[in-house]
Amino acid sequence: MITDEKTAVFDLFCYPKSITVIGVSSDDKAFGSRQLSALLKFGYEGRLYPVNPNGGEFFGLKAYSNVRDISDSVDLAIIAVPAHIVSRVLEDCLAKGIKAAEVLSAGFREGGNEGLRLEKELQDIATRGIKIIGPNCFGVYCPNGGVTILPGANFPKESGPVALITQSGQFSEMIVMQARGLGIRFNKVISYGNACDLNEADILEYLAEDTDTKVIQAYIEGVRDGHRFLEVARRVSRVKPIIIWKVGLTPLGSRAASTHTGSLGGSESVWNAFLSQSGVVGVNSIEELIDTTLTCLHLPPHCGSRVSLVSGGGGGTVVGSDACQREGIASPVFTPETQEKLGSILPRVGASVKNPVDIANPLPPSQLLWSVLEIIAASEEIDLIILRRIFLSAKGLSLILGEAESTEKYQQELMDVPLQVKEKFGKPVIVILREEVSDIELLEFEADRRQLRDYYLAHGIPVYPTLERTIKALANLFKYQNTL
Amino acid sequence: MITDEKTAVFDLFCYPKSITVIGVSSDDKAFGSRQLSALLKFGYEGRLYPVNPNGGEFFGLKAYSNVRDISDSVDLAIIAVPAHIVSRVLEDCLAKGIKAAEVLSAGFREGGNEGLRLEKELQDIATRGIKIIGPNCFGVYCPNGGVTILPGANFPKESGPVALITQSGQFSEMIVMQARGLGIRFNKVISYGNACDLNEADILEYLAEDTDTKVIQAYIEGVRDGHRFLEVARRVSRVKPIIIWKVGLTPLGSRAASTHTGSLGGSESVWNAFLSQSGVVGVNSIEELIDTTLTCLHLPPHCGSRVSLVSGGGGGTVVGSDACQREGIASPVFTPETQEKLGSILPRVGASVKNPVDIANPLPPSQLLWSVLEIIAASEEIDLIILRRIFLSAKGLSLILGEAESTEKYQQELMDVPLQVKEKFGKPVIVILREEVSDIELLEFEADRRQLRDYYLAHGIPVYPTLERTIKALANLFKYQNTL
């Protein structure tokens, strides 16, 4: 269990009433200046104190030449000065009574022996009453606390159920921005870099007790404290899903991790053992991280795992079946009764009623789609339906093939079928909407696809761009549910 | 070697001077009507003869009640009548002297015993002087012959270096449309369904000798004639790359393949043995199929395989290194001399000069990017450069982060750096352009991305959306080159 004291310190990072940014200068591209600018643009409402050795004024704020000169109390120091000065600055922060510091500066452990020595100085100072996130990081984004990371001026102001911890600053930005279009919002993003003091296990413990956080994501290059991390991860993953993108698992990757955050990457086999012992969900790309998060957010915690794939064409039933089998997902053949019911409404030739169901028409009449899904959802044989390559907006198909005709009414009816099925039968429905065309002249198709995606997401129907990614995200969820 | 006679028959399918479409009716959604309509919209310039038992007129063309009533000679019959009538229609075609027939109709082997019996009838007829593609297929697209498949009215009119053979009709359409945005054009797409007569080996033999075809793609559910296919594939892949997406390799997938095209899926181990014996490149999704094709089209046939990844941030160097190692791609550490040269122009902290190179700035000055790439390309240590997360259009970054400033001149200079490096050093450069944001309000970012992508593609620089997909596509190419 995390101590109240530790929680209080993390709260200073996430909900600071006052911040000093140390290392602001007249160079707009300096990290300190960019961090201060990001906080201002993001709309931080607490008190802000820039520090520059020569004083002056930045962004309309008076700068202090030393943090000790600030008369007000300060909750958080964000430090962006050259590596060899950081210790001295931290000593000033200690003297000022500051208890939380983010060190954005690079040039520590990742840079070799001299950097390692400098990082050890930071660790020593941390034992004397100030907790450190970093060095070599982008800091903390917490919209409810009004704070954001270095490149996070444009991050959403709304909070959400996801927390992200990451050793890579750039990925913190990329993940938040890519997830945003899918309606995924974060309550905390902690870019923690080299983890000289507060590490992955500390942060995980804090997020475990954080009631705002329902799903935890992580990008990790090297685990600092493997034994404790396993213990904490095992405990936390019983309460909420932890999805970890672990990198540096090959010799080449580990070499790069050492240069990037001074991390020891580790081996695939050790990591796989960790996953099976901890209940943590392992992923291998930004896409898989976000897809899996979407599944965790939209599907009920104990939904069953027997899947029916309903496809607008036959090839997808083969691809989907291979994917299910490889991922260990059950896609049972329907009973003769259910097959017979489906057979009575689907074309005698061309279609398939066994599961996967091939309705042999990417643009079915809405009544037909409804009837097919009703038969499937009403059966006790499956728990979840995936719709593939059915043009739920007829506009999409006509943009591609130039042959479909449709009316507004038809579109709305077809589009709503998945919602109605979900509502009536209480079974999850998942929709696959591909980027079918990427010609620059056909941006209209992408606009239509995003509109439809947002409509479904707003109604609790997860949307993925490909069959393979859908099955992978589902498999990750089912694996997690099986550990509970 | 393919016989002249066989080549002549395939030419009838691809470059017919006259076509009869049998099974046109007043129902616009009937396959025959849609096929005829597609040919007309596509602009087929040969002679067209619809056949309907009651005669009449369709799309302004006189319909014949029987194919034998057509007085003109007919090169190709496209048949879309119910399965149990197909034999009779084929007999009429034989009597008329037609030597090539596409049977679009479903309801054969994939439907069970009665369908299997009907398909055997087709096979018997095929031995008597008419070659059949299908049944249960979408036919042939060949822009230089003016013909297109059922959903192919909007397919490109321009021909290109790629040929696709596929058992799934729907994938023929999806692959052509998705590849189109990347500038990939096809000279032939052959949707061959159940392959009752002409099968994958026959088609491959034809494409081997087809000088228009530089790269062959295939989607295969079940191989009809494994022994011959291996022999042909091994021979052809010495001359041009064959990229095969083989599905139905799991019990569930094989079950679905049997329902879809009456195919026997086979096993992963047999397929892997086939790949290693044949030199065929195996892929596992539409994306991988298209990515690999793009690599084959844009990279020189014997480019070396030592890669340097140049990244705008550090996390990507770790991810890229893991991906290279897993795919067996060499990403050698630079010599001290090269590291020193890079170190003299990159920031002392934050960047990495070992390879991968982290320039620690997603929006570098164009002169810096040029100097970095020049040092790398001039060294004898690597053969190929991948650029990741560098905003080669500054507009993209400013749309995301709202903090970058840029001028038109700056943009053009930065954008042209990869082209200049490729030109000066004759080494391939690959650019990764992610879909960084997918908010419906930010379609402008996607427009910008596509514009930049098209610019690079037009200059022979392949573009991929993610690091993982880039490395996979490269690995596939290198594996192929190693078999030569």
C-alpha distances out from residue A9 to A35, A129, A196, A332, Å: 21, 10, 16, 51
C-alpha distances out from residue B212 to A102, A265, B159, B183, Å: 61, 48, 9, 16
Residue A138 with chain B: CB contacts under 8 Å: none
Give B109→chain A minimum CA distance, Å: 11
CB A179 within 8 A of CB A171: no
Interface of B with A in 306-345 (CB under 8 A): 312-322, 324-326, 331, 333
Burial class (CB in 10 A: 0-12, 13-18, 19+), B33: buried
pLDDT computed for residue B297 by the predictor: 97
Nearest-Cα residue of chain B relative to residue A468: B285
Interface of B with A in 42-81 (CB under 8 A): none
**In the predicted model, what is the mean pLDDT of residues A264-274?**
93
**In the predicted model, what is the mean pLDDT of residues A299-322?**
94
Q: What is the DSSP letter of A133?
A: E
Task: Please tell me which of the candidates B136, B251, B285 has its beta carbon nearest to residue A468.
Answer: B285
Give the residue among A466, A471, A481 at the shortest CA–CA distance from A307: A471
Q: Name the percent of chain A lying above pLDDT 90.
A: 89
The tens place of each residue's pLDDT in chain B, 484 residues long, gives 678 888 999 999 999 999 999 999 999 889 999 999 999 999 999 999 999 999 999 999 999 999 999 999 999 999 999 999 999 999 999 999 999 999 999 999 999 999 999 999 999 999 999 999 999 999 999 999 999 999 999 999 999 999 999 999 999 999 999 999 999 999 999 999 999 999 999 999 999 999 999 999 999 999 999 999 999 999 999 999 999 999 999 999 999 999 999 998 889 999 999 999 999 999 999 999 999 999 999 999 888 999 999 999 999 999 999 999 999 999 999 999 999 999 999 998 899 999 999 999 988 999 999 999 999 999 999 999 999 999 888 677 777 776 555 566 677 889 999 999 999 999 999 999 999 999 999 999 999 999 999 999 999 999 999 999 999 999 999 999 999 8
Task: Please tell me which of the candidates A37, A177, A322 has its beta carbon nearest to residue B253.
Answer: A322
Task: Please tell me which of the candidates A154, A181, A348 has its beta carbon nearest to residue B438.
Answer: A181
How many residue contacts between A and B have a Cβ separation below 8 Å? 256
CB contact under 8 A, B352 and A252: no
Residue A401 Ramachandran class (φ > 0 left, ψ -120 to 50 alpha, else beta): alpha
pLDDT computed for residue A88 by the predictor: 98
Task: Please tell me which of the candidates A83, A317, A438 has its beta carbon nearest to residue B181.
Answer: A438
CB contact under 8 A, B153 and A401: yes
CA distance B301 to A33: 49
Phi–psi pair at A283, nearest 5 degrees: -130, 170
β-pair partners for B238 = none
Nearest-Cα residue of chain B relative to residue A137: B350
CB contact under 8 A, B321 and A348: no
Give the residue among A463, A430, A449 at the shortest CA–CA distance from A309: A430
Give A197→chain B minimum CA distance, Å: 20
Give the model confidence (pLDDT) of A402-417 as tens digits. Answer: 655 556 667 788 999 9
Query: How much is the ipTM here?
Result: 0.95
Band of the pLDDT at A3, cuts 50, 70, 90?
Answer: confident
Give the model confidence (pLDDT) of B97-152 as tens digits. Answer: 999 999 999 999 999 999 999 999 999 999 999 999 999 999 999 999 999 999 99
Give B355→chain A minimum CA distance, Å: 8
Q: Name the percent of chain A lying above pLDDT 70.
A: 98
CB contact under 8 A, B403 and A312: no
CB contact under 8 A, B401 and A256: no
Give B14→chain A minimum CA distance, Å: 21
At B299, the amino acid letter reads L
Residue A403 with chain B: CB contacts under 8 Å: 34, 37-38, 41, 151, 153-154
CB contact under 8 A, B315 and A348: no
Give the CA angle between residues A417, A418, A422 to the nearest 5°: 115
Phi–psi pair at B478, nearest 5 degrees: -60, -40
What is the distance, to the nearest Å, from the Cα of residue A361 to the centroid of all Cα atoms in its chain?
A: 35
Give the CA angle between residues A412, A418, A424 to the nearest 5°: 115
Q: Both tokens of residue A126?
A: 């941390």
Give the model confidence (pLDDT) of A368-396 as tens digits. Answer: 999 999 999 999 999 999 999 998 886 77
Q: Is any Cβ of chain A less than 8 angstroms from the Cβ of B247?
A: yes
Which of A189-193, A303-307, A444-448, B443-447 is modeled with the greatest confidence? A189-193
C-alpha distances out from residue A139 to A273, A459, B375, B455, B475, Å: 31, 34, 33, 37, 36
Longest dimension (CA), chain B: 84
How many residues in chain A? 484
Nearest-Cα residue of chain B relative to residue A83: B349
pLDDT computed for residue B351 by the predictor: 94
H-run or E-run covering B387: strand B384-388
pLDDT computed for residue B400 by the predictor: 73
CA dihedral B87, B89, B94, B96 (to 10 degrees): 170
pLDDT computed for residue A335 by the predictor: 98
Q: What is the mean pLDDT of chain A?
A: 95
Taking only Cα atoms into account, the Rg of chain A, rounded to an integer number of angstroms, comes to: 26
pLDDT computed for residue A327 by the predictor: 97
CA distance A177 to A157: 13
